[in-house]
Amino acid sequence: MTTVPAAAIPRLQSREDLWRPLRGASRPYIVAVALAALAVAWGLIAWGYQIHQGIGVAGIRRPVMWGFYIVNFVFWIGISHAGTLISAILRLTHAGWRRPVTRVAEAITVFALMIGGLFPLIHLGRVWLFYWLVPYPNERGLWPNFRSPLVWDLTAIFTYLTGSVIYLYLPLIPDLAELSRKTGGWRARLYGLLCLGWTGSDRQWRALERAMKLMAGIILAVAVSVHTVVAWDFAMSLAPTWHSTIFGPYFVVGAIFSGIAALLLVMAIARKALRLESYLQPMHFENLSRLLVLMSLLWFYFTVAENLTVWYGNEPQEMSVFGARVRGPYAPYFWVMVLCNFVVPFVLLGVRRLRSIRTATISAVAVLVGMWLERYLIIVPTLATPRLAAAWGSYSPTWVEISITSATFAAMTLLYLIFAKLFPIIAIWEYHHVSDG
């Protein structure tokens, strides 16, 4: 992968290039939106069917009471680390190459959190009783249990979503102000409303930059805590292989790993579909590919550390889960996970000669598959193999769970397609702002 020097694109040219995708809608775009909307509609029908018939239409049975829905919850919360966390790290380290990447990443975070946050509701079955979980002072005879990691989840995800929406919105304001002047009709009204009267004064720029710096620091602390808390949903229980002290960092590493993969995939698609080759350059893929390899090594290290201690300890209940994972009914998934999360990215991106945008995209897809399998392998085998052997069971997802799972991937695509049509996917002002390297 060769590094092309950052093109000195004139300001007017960059505006034309980056605003072009906002105009009109090509046939492939309309087809993509229609297909994604159809898949989302099918998922909604499946969810409606589940609400009407009851949670029994899903494959979750005793002892496996957490199935695809919780796998998807953990997976999407992990993907959400693509944006805000990566963008915050790059912003705080003044990585100049981040500029065309940050907004692509930040949007992934917001959409992934919105999708991930839906799964506890879907999993609940009786979704209309959701407010029973909200721990407000009440007289209904319910004792709100603040000591439950599930309530911790609620507060962590709410904080992360609030922070991520603000973190995405703040750097959009200057672009929205320019767009409100350059467009007409409903777009001008929408952008005019959202830009809050931005005039581009130095007071506004300084306040914006200060806020972005502060937010980057705060959001890092939130992002790390969010996935640690998700890990504690498991680690705070005494279930075999879940009660582990490294689950917090293991989940955070996995989340950043899958987040970078999601970012690479979206960048590759946006580059081709929106003709942004001059902005999303091979250099950006090269840098993110290196990060992906680094995270792959870290993930491998954590996976070995986690499994080796279980194997060496030889505790019977833990060994049952370990055996089911590496040589039992879940072994094919386990070894595909190792292939996708370690072998593929390590070979394709670790060997310099093989590194390219195409291999980065292939690796990203492999990692996303591998990380989804990892979430599945953490949750299902442990629940299927509880301490009492007489209670062992199995889990098979039904069409309802598969439909809802597929719909969430379509929802991500749909939300991103709409976002890319409404807002510039690269921050124009940041692209030309050179002072921070």
Please count the residues of the chain.
437
Q: Is the dihedral of CA 264, 268, 274, 276 positive or negative?
A: positive
Which of these segments, 219-227, 247-255, 356-364, 400-408, binds another protein (CB under 8 A)?
219-227
Cα separation, 32 vs 272, in Å, equals 14
Three-state secondary structure string covering 150-186: HHHHHHHHHHHHHHHHHHHHCCHHHHHHHHHHHCCHH
User: Angle 176-181-187 (CA atoms, 0-180°, nearest 5)?
Assistant: 65
Cβ(295)–Cβ(121) below 8 Å: no
Question: Which one among 45, 89, 170, 338 touches another protein, defined by CB under 8 A?
Answer: 170
Q: Which residue's CB is nearer to another protein, number 61 or number 206? A: 206
How far is 411 from 25, CA to CA, in rounded Å?
Answer: 19
How many C-beta neighbours within 10 Å does residue 350 have? Answer: 16
DSSP labels for 329-369?
TTHHHHHHHHIIIIIHHHHHHHSGGG-SHHHHHHHHHHHHH
Q: Which of residues 8-47 bind another protein (CB under 8 A)?
A: 11-12, 15
Binding span for another protein by CB under 8 A among 56-64, 185-193, 207-215, 278-286: 207-215
For residue 314, state whether it binds another protein (rule: CB under 8 A): no
Beta carbon nearer to another protein, 135 or 328: 135
**What CA–CA distance (Å, rounded) separates 372 from 378?**
10
Tell me: does residue 143 bind another protein (CB under 8 A).
yes
Q: Distance between CA 360 and CA 292 in Å, rounded?
A: 9
Asked if residue 202 binds another protein (CB under 8 A), the reply is: yes
287 makes contact with another protein (CB under 8 A): no
User: Minimum CB separation from another protein for residue 78, in Å?
Assistant: 18
Q: Which of 20, 126, 206, 272 binds another protein (CB under 8 A)?
A: 206
Choose between 173 and 273: whose C-beta lies nearer to another protein.
173
- Count of other CB atoms within 10 angstroms of residue 380: 25
Q: Minimal distance in Å, beta carbon 141 to another protein? A: 7
Q: How far is CA 37 from CA 24, 283, 308, 418, in A?
A: 19, 34, 44, 11
Least gap, CB of 244 to another protein (angstroms) = 18
Residue 188 engages another protein in binding (rule: CB under 8 A): no
Site mask, another protein, residues 95-134, x = CB under 8 A?
A: ----------------------------------------
Q: Which two tokens stand for residue 164?
A: 């991520």
Output 106 or 318, the one with its CB closest to another protein: 106
Rounded to a whole number of angstroms, the minimum distance from the CB of residue 106 to another protein is 14
Query: What does the alpha-carbon distance between residue 44 and residue 118 come to, in Å, rounded to a whole number?
Result: 12
Nearer to another protein, 67 or 117 (CB): 117
191 binds another protein (CB under 8 A): no
Rounded to whole angstroms, the Cα distance separating 111 from 97 reads: 24
Is 199 a binding residue for another protein by CB under 8 A? The answer is yes
C-beta of 44 vs 154, nearer to another protein? 154
- Site mask, another protein, residues 232-261, x = CB under 8 A? x-----------------------------
Choose, by CB under 8 A, the member of 107, 215, 261, 383 that binds another protein. 215
Q: In whole angstroms, what is the distance from residue 68 CA to residue 401 CA?
A: 6
Residue 432 touching another protein (CB under 8 A): yes
Residue 192 interacts with another protein (CB under 8 A)? no
- Kindly tell me which residue out of 3, 93, 162, 237 binds another protein, with binding defined by CB under 8 A: 162
5, 24, 28, 137: residue in contact with another protein (rule CB under 8 A): 137
1 CA to centre of own chain: 26
Find the shortest distance in angstroms from Cβ 363 to another protein: 33
* 3-state SS, residue 61: strand
Q: How far apart are CA 430 and CA 437, in angstroms?
A: 11
Binding residues for another protein, total number by CB under 8 A: 57
Alpha-carbon gap, residue 376 to 326, rounded angstroms: 14
Shortest gap between Cβ of 425 and another protein (angstroms)? Answer: 18
Does residue number 218 form part of the binding site for another protein (CB under 8 A)? Answer: yes
CA 57, CA 390: separation in Å to the nearest integer?
25
Contacting residues toward another protein, per CB under 8 A: 11-12, 15, 135-139, 141-144, 146-147, 149, 151-152, 155-156, 158-159, 162-163, 166, 170, 173-174, 178, 196-211, 214-215, 218-219, 221-222, 225, 229, 232, 429, 432-433, 435
